[in-house]
Amino acid sequence: MKKPLRNIVDYLILSLIVSTAIVLILYFNGSKYTQQIIIIALSILYIVWGVLHHLKEKSLQARIIIEYVLFALLGSIVVIGLLK
């Protein structure tokens, strides 16, 4: 349990980013364009979070960045697909 406790601030920040996106999506329900922007912003912030988190952990590698980018891409495509 050491690692999660050590990274609790990082995880709280990520949870705050995701929660804010959920609240904004709820607030802008009916405005699909705004919701698309929110999802793109969430995905970018998720990648940035990943890079900064692994930088801090001294474990940043190209393959890890690619992993975050691909997960962010899959996530945003799946949600934006619903907002077309």
For another protein, the binding residues (CB under 8 A) are: 4, 7, 10-11, 14-15, 18-19, 21-22, 25-32, 35, 39, 42, 46, 49-50, 53-54, 59, 61, 63-64, 66-68, 70-75, 77-79, 81-84
Which value, in Å, is the radius of gyration of the alpha carbons in the chain?
14
Smallest gap from residue 77 Cβ to another protein (A) = 6
Smallest gap from residue 69 Cβ to another protein (A) = 9
What does the buried/exposed string (b/e) look like for 56-71 if buried means 16 or more CB atoms within 10 Å of the residue's CB?
A: eeeeeeeeeeeebeee
Nearer to another protein, 32 or 37 (CB): 32
Residues 6+ apart with CB under 8 A from 71: 46
Nearer to another protein, 22 or 37 (CB): 22
